[in-house]
Amino acid sequence: MSDAVVTVPTSEISSGGRVVRCLPALLALVAVAAFGQQTVDVSIQEYRFQPAEVRIKVGDTVRWVNRENRTSHSVLFPAENGLESERLFPGEHWQRAFVQPGRYSYRCGPHEEMKGVVVVE
């Protein structure tokens, strides 16, 4: 993770002659969410997605990595109008961030028997 500097404006509230500085709650939540995101790897190997099911949080990313020696694969989401990665040749990867909760079933484009699911909570 790269180092980042976040400047958050503060507001002042007078309370009993004292000045209290407070952060707006929404900005604090956004800052926490931005730094809490993760990337989860799914290996493509031996004609399988490993692990076949991953559970992530909203905003996390899944990265599929082709670890085969010779075979190309893709990641296809049939329920999402056929959203599909480009062909992934050995050593290549493709990733996708998930911004809505739900269950996202996918399969390999050229190898329909290869299936997986991403559960976003």
pLDDT tens for residues 13-61?
Answer: 444 555 445 444 444 444 445 557 999 999 999 999 999 999 999 999 9
Q: How many domains in the chain?
A: 1
Interatomic CA distance for residues 38 and 83, integer angstroms: 22
The boundaries of the domain holding residue 79 are 39-120
Residue 16 lies in a domain: no
Put simply, whether the predicted model's pTM sits higher than 0.75 gets the answer no
Residue 17 lies in a domain: no
Long-range CB pairs of 81-90, under 8 A, 24+ apart, other chains included: 84/109, 88/44, 88/64, 90/66
Residue 109 lies in a domain: yes
Here the CATH number for the domain that contains residue 57 is 2.60.40.420
Per-residue pLDDT reduced to its tens digit, 67-119: 999 999 999 999 999 999 999 999 999 999 999 999 999 999 999 999 999 99
